């Protein structure tokens, strides 16, 4: 089967683990109980790492391989790095899921996380081999976004390396260094690789080639350069001082401007039919996120930035509504659409869950009695979000038929 299809199918399968695990985690905020032989903290790590490595990471790789031939004019070559990427991906993600769930951050889970990073390097090699024939100056606009995203994926490894150096070599002597590593990874991977890469996918699937190239090129370069300084904002409530404070705040606000400028451009695009509702939802969510990128400029922000419900609400605005919404739209376009109810359930559940989390974060101090009802509502909203997401990523009937035919052909060829 085509490498892109293998990665997209794997990504959809990991989503069927990630979302139910998220619903289970939400239940713990409503009832106090023990998750059998596990710890909740470890299950949160299993949920987030499988979401990053399996669902979003492999999904974006699959989409990139799917659109690359439009720019190179030939199918993606079956190279050794690609074969190893496909071979190792199930072990890398599955190993991370099991070891994070069982041990949390420990030797085995760090080993599997590192294996995932090795996959990212393999993917960067595959990407570079496909595009190196043409000079970067000649790359069409969508490829520039995708190229910036692949570079950000590689740069995100610096964040995890900083965490390991800070913990294993410097023995946690500099807590701010550990935090810097965590936030550098979260920003470079989530806002960088995933968000910028999906902008490239939207442009590619909407048929953009060279239109408005200067504007799009400036946006891609700005998105690339602003990520690392913007990540440092999250260290301000944890004691960061000096000139890095204004620099990181300005970088974060500029990042919001880049997102708004991208949306202004994308508004005029002819969006592909099956992706349209999902991308409209992701676009609206990105507009909310872009507006929230300016909030750190307010003095009250340092207090809000340590509020767990607000942090988790913002994180799911970004990863569930923007990233997963855009991925599901692209998958509907590439693999065939799921039913209309898939979108309706995902959209209503996700918007409600994120809104209840924001409401919880803003109300808890003033009205603690609202805490349990809001958590219960967020838990209830998680069900339609998860069902809609899993349904939305399921292959359409045509794709299922094609896969069946492919399997039959393989069985017959063995005879």
Q: Footprint of ligand HEM on this chain (CB under 6 A)?
A: 18-19, 22-23, 25-26, 44-45, 47-48, 51, 55-56, 308, 312, 315-316, 319-320, 323-324, 382, 385-386
One DSSP character per residue, 225-286 reads HHHHHHHGGGGGGGT--STHHHHHHHHHHHHHHHHHHHHHHHTTS---TTTHHHHHHHHHHH
Residue closer to ligand HEM, measured from CB, 100 or 265: 100
Beta carbons of 285 and 325 less than 8 angstroms apart: yes
For residue 315, CA distances in Å to 208, 209, 222, 319 come to 29, 32, 22, 6
Q: Residues near 94 by Cβ (< 8 Å), separated by ≥ 6?
A: none
Least Å from the CB of residue 64 to ligand HEM: 17
**Cβ of residue 72: shortest distance to ligand HEM, in angstroms?**
29
CB of 359 to ligand HEM, least distance (A): 15
CB of 24 to ligand HEM, least distance (A): 8
Residue among 140 and 313 whose Cβ is closer to ligand HEM: 313
DSSP state, residue 297: G
Can you tell me the distance from the alpha carbon of 159 to that of 174, in angstroms, rounded to the nearest whole number?
15
Nearer to ligand HEM, 24 or 269 (CB): 24
Structure tokens at 307: 């509020």
Q: How many helices (H) and strands (E) does the chain have?
A: 17, 0
- Residue, CB closest to ligand HEM: 22
For residue 272, the minimal CB distance to ligand HEM (Å) is: 22
> Hey, is 105 helix, strand or coil?
coil
Least separation in angstroms between CB 42 and ligand HEM: 10
State the nearest-atom distance from the C-beta of 81 to ligand HEM, in Å. 25
- Residue 211 backbone zone (phi > 0: left; psi -120 to 50: alpha; other: beta): beta
Smallest gap from residue 221 Cβ to ligand HEM (A): 26
Residue 147: partners with Cβ closer than 8 Å, 6 or more residues away = 127, 131, 136, 139, 220
CB 146 → ligand HEM: shortest distance, Å?
19
Instruction: Tell me if 58 sits within 8 A of 119, measured CB to CB.
Output: no
- 143: nearest Cα among 76, 69, 83: 69
Burial environment of residue 197 by CB neighbours within 10 A (0 to 12, 13 to 18, 19 or more)? buried
């Amino acid at each position: 089967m085509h490498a892109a299809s293998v990665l997209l199918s794997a990504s959809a399968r990991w989503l069927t683990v990630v979302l139910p695990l998220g619903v289970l985690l939400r239940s713990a905020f409503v009832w106090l109980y023990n998750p059998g032989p596990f710890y909740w903290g470890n299950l949160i790590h299993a949920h987030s790492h499988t979401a990053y490595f399996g669902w979003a990471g492999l999904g974006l790789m699959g989409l990139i391989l799917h659109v690359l031939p439009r720019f190179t004019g030939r199918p993606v070559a079956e190279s050794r790095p690609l074969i190893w990427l496909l071979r190792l991906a199930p072990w890398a993600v599955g190993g991370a899921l099991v070891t994070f769930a069982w041990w949390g951050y420990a030797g085995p889970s760090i080993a599997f996380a590192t294996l995932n990073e090795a996959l990212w390097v393999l993917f960067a090699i595959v990407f570079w081999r496909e595009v190196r024939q043409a000079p970067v100056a000649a790359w069409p606009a969508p490829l520039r976004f995708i190229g910036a995203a692949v570079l950000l994926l590689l740069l995100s490894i610096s964040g995890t390396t900083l965490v390991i150096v800070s913990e294993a070599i410097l023995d946690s002597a500099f807590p701010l260094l550990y935090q810097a590593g965590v936030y550098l990874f979260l920003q470079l991977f989530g806002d960088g690789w995933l968000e910028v890469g999906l902008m490239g996918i939207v442009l590619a699937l909407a048929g953009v080639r060279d239109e408005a190239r200067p504007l799009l090129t400036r946006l891609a370069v700005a998105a690339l350069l602003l990520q690392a300084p913007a990540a440092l904002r999250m260290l301000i409530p944890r004691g960061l001082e000096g000139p890095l404070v204004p620099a990181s705040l300005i970088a974060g606000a500029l990042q919001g401007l880049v997102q708004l400028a991208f949306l202004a451009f994308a508004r005029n695009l002819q969006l592909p039919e099956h992706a349209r509702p999902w991308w409209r939802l992701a676009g609206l969510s990105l507009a909310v996120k872009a507006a929230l990128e300016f909030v750190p400029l307010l003095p009250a922000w340092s207090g809000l930035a340590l509020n767990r419900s607000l942090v988790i609400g913002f994180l799911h605005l970004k990863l569930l509504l923007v990233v997963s919404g855009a991925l599901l739209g692209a998958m509907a376009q590439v693999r065939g659409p799921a039913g209309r109810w898939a979108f309706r359930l995902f959209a209503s559940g996700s918007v409600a869950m994120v809104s209840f989390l924001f409401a919880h974060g803003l109300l808890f101090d003033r009205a603690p009695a609202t805490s349990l009802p809001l958590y219960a509502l967020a838990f209830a909203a998680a069900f339609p979000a998860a069902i809609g997401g899993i349904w939305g990523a399921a292959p359409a009937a045509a794709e299922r038929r094609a896969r069946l035919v492919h399997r039959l052909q393989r069985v017959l060829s063995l005879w």
